[in-house]
Amino acid sequence: MNFDVVIVGSGLAGLTVALNLAETRRVAVVAKRSMTEGASDWAQGGIAAVLDSADSIDNHVRDTLVAGGGLCDEAATRFIVEHGRGAIEWLIAQGVPFTRDDAAELGFHLTREGGHSHRRIIHAADATGHAVVATLSERVRQHPNITLFEEHCAIDLITSDRLGLPGRRCHGLYALDPESGRTVTLQASHTVLATGGAGKVYLYTTNPDTATGDGIAMAWRAGCRVANMEFIQFHPTCLFHPYAKSFLITEAVRGEGGRLLLPDGTRFMPAHDERAELAPRDIVARAIDFEIKKRGIDCVYLDISHQPAAFLREHFPTILARCLEFGIDITKDPIPVVPAAHYTCGGIVTDLAGRTDLAGLYAVGETACTGLHGANRLASNSLLECLVIGSAASTAMESEGFNAAADAPLPDWDESRVSDPDEEVVVAHNWDELRRLMWNYVGIVRTDKRLARARHRIALLRDEIQEYYANFKVSRDLLELRNLVDVASLIVESARSRRESRGLHFSRDWPATLPKALPTVLAPEHIRNNA
C-alpha cells in the first residue's frame, strides 16, 4: 500500500503530524492497539507554555535548562518554548476542553508543577492527555485522507540497505496484524516514528503496555544514532497498591500543596532539597528511593487532604475516583506512592524538524531526542515538544516534497523459511527476566558492577531472542521483546559511558558532576566505520 506519509504511533506527536498533513496528503496512521491506548492519553498534568504576561519565554527556558542538568540544547529549548503559545492556540481551535478560568488572561486555568518558577501549565482537570487525544483522534477518524491501521505492530523499517539500493533512505515499513497473522507492506515518501518511550523495559513503570521502545529500536537497527539513553526519568509518585497497575499521581498534586510523608507522618523532602516537594523529579525520586531503602519501608505517602474536598474534586477528579476504587479517600487519607519508570529523555537523534540520519525518516515525541530534555525532563514539557516538533516535521515534509508514487513497489514480507513458535514460554520468561534485571541493576541508583552484570545478561538474552526471531513467525510479544532488549542494551551502554552523575543518571562510583556537560551519542557500527 502506497501513501505520502506513514506515521507509526497515535499519541499527540503522531496525531499532530497527521492532522497537519492530511488536508493535501494521503496519510496512514499505524497504532499498536487502539488509537487512544498510549502514553499521551494517560498524561494527567498538562502542557507547559508561556500564556501569562507575568511569565516570559526566558523564564520557561531557564527553568528547562536548570532541570536539564546543563545538558539541554539551548537553541532547541528556545525554539520549542517560543512556539508554545501557537501550539496551545492550535489545540484550542481543535476544540480541546481545557479547564477554564475567566480571571486568567487567556481565559484558562494555569497550574504549577515542580521545577517551574511560574504557573504555566494549561490543563483539562487532571486528565489533560485524554482530553487532547480524544479530541484529535476523533478528527483523525473522520478525515477522508487518513487511513487507520489499528491493532497493527510495526516490525521493521524498509531501507535502501535492505533493498540493495544506493543511498541511505527509508521507503516505509512492514507491520503485523496480530489477529490475522497477516503482514502488510506500507510504502511512503516519508515515514514518521511517533512510538513513544520505553518504560516497559523496567519492572515498575507508569507507562502503558505499548511503551516498548519500538521506534528507538527500529531506527537503531536501520542505522540511526541515538542519544542520552541513560536518562530515564522515574516519576516519584506512582500509586502503590497490589491491584493498581501503572497509575501515576500527577506532579500537580505537589504543585497544589501536596506533602510527602514517612509512614509515621514525618515530612522528609525539606531535608533533601530547599525546594522540598517542588524540587525537580530526579531529586524527589532519589529522595524517596533513599528513604525507602534506608528505613526498609515499602512506600512513602503523599498527603493533599488539607486542601478543601471541593477543590480536590474539581482539580483531581480522576485521581480521587481511581484512589477510591482502592479504598483511599484523598480528601482524608494520604496516598501511598513509590517511584516508577516514567519518561525516556533520550532517543533517536533528530533536528528541530524531526529529521533523523536516514532520509525520509522522521522521529517526533518521546521516541526522539531533540535536546530539549537534557539530563532530566521538566514537567509538562513533553506534550509541548510533541506539538511543536510535530508541526515542524509536517512543514519540513511539505518542503521536501512527496514522490512515493514514483518508487518501485517494495517486496512483501518473507515468511517462507520460518515456522510457528514451538514454546511461547521462552518469550514470557525472557520478557520477565529483562525487566527485573533492568530494575535491579539499571534503576534510579547505578554502579559500574551492576551495569557490567546487566550488560552481560542482556547480551545472552539478545542472542536467545534473535535466534527465536530468525526461526519462528513473529508475534506482538516477540516484536516487543526484541525491541526492548535492543533498548535495554542502549540504556546500559549509555550509562556505562557516562563517568559522572548528572540529572537522572546517578552513579555511586562516579558521584561528582563534570564541569562540561556533553551528550551521550551512540552510533551503529557501520555508521562509525563510514563516518
Active site residues: 281
CA 409 to CA 118: how far, in whole Å? Answer: 53
- In contact, 372 and 72? CB cutoff 8 Å: yes
Q: Tell me, what DSSP letter sits at residue 413?
A: P
Q: State how far the Cα of 293 lies from the Cα of 92, in Å rounded to an integer.
A: 45
Tell how far CA 248 is from the center of its chain: 14
Closest CA to 42 of 277, 231, 235: 235
365, amino acid identity: G
Length of the chain: 531
Query: Between the CA atoms of 341, 506, 373 and 371, what dihedral angle is there, to the nearest 10 degrees?
Result: -120
Q: Which residue has the cell 518542503?
A: 399
Residue 133 to residue 123: CA distance in whole angstroms: 13
CB atoms within 10 A of CB 242: 6
Q: Classify residue 191 by its DSSP letter.
A: E
**C-alpha to C-alpha distance for 234 and 338, rounded to whole angstroms:** 10
CA dist., res. 136 & res. 43, Å (int): 15
Instruction: Work out whether the CA dihedral 448, 449, 450, 453 comes out positive or negative.
Output: positive
List 355's β-bridge partners, or say none.
Answer: 362
CA gap 503, 509 in Å, rounded = 15
- The DSSP 8-state label assigned to residue 276 in this structure reads G
Neighbours of 267 (CB within 10 A): 13
Residue 201 DSSP class = G
CA dist., res. 202 & res. 99, Å (int): 34
Strand partners, 8: 30, 193
DSSP class per residue in 153-183 = EEEEEEEHHHHT-SS-BEEEEEEEETTTTEE
CB-based contacts of 425: which residues, under 8 Å, 6+ apart? none
**DSSP secondary-structure letter at 472?**
B
* Alpha carbons 363 and 354: distance in angstroms, whole number: 5
Q: 3-state DSSP helix/strand/coil percent for the chain, to nearest 5?
A: 40, 20, 40
